[in-house]
Amino acid sequence: MKQWYASKRGACAEQYAKQYLIDKGLYFVAENYRVKVGEIDLIFKDHEQWVFVEVKYRENNTHGSAAEMFTTGKRRKLTRAIMCYLQSHDLNFHHTHMRIDLFAIDGDEVNWIKNV
């Protein structure tokens, strides 16, 4: 039951982030892109730049903030998933204008960190 509740909260956080970024002018491309090596929560375009967004949610920060949950290991998995996504869309990882953003939600506080 607890895992179901956590996944529902995570999905709500992703939907909130998606709408927030659309409202800020980003063009929505895809969500929950999954491959064996990792997952991309949200994919946007910001003019000609691809934006890959990791969404982290924490109800409170007693065990660390949402931003602190974006670890080196998670970044490595995300980067591998991005490489797969770009390859599947005939885009070169080294020649594609892109960035990774972190959308961290701590309770009611929203922090959109560009180009982490």
C-alpha angle with apex 96: 92 to 97, nearest 5 degrees?
170
> Could you read off the pLDDT of 67-97 as tens digits, one per residue?
999 999 999 999 999 999 999 999 998 999 9
Q: Is the pLDDT of residue 5 over 60?
A: no
Its pTM stands at: 0.90
pLDDT in tens, 44-65: 999 999 999 999 998 877 778 9
**What average pLDDT does this structure show over 8-29?**
92
Judge whether 105 and 66 are in contact, CB under 8 Å: yes
Give domain limits for the chain: 2-113
pLDDT band at 39 (very low <50, low <70, confident <90, very high): very high
Helices and strands, counts by H and E, the chain = 2, 5
Residue 64 has a pLDDT of: 83
For 23-38, write each residue's pLDDT tens digit.
Answer: 999 999 999 999 999 9
> Whose CA is closest to 49, among 80, 64, 27?
27
Class of 2-113 in CATH: alpha beta
- Cα 17 to chain centroid, rounded: 9
Cα separation, 25 vs 34, in Å, equals 25
Closest CA to 82 of 68, 64, 94: 94
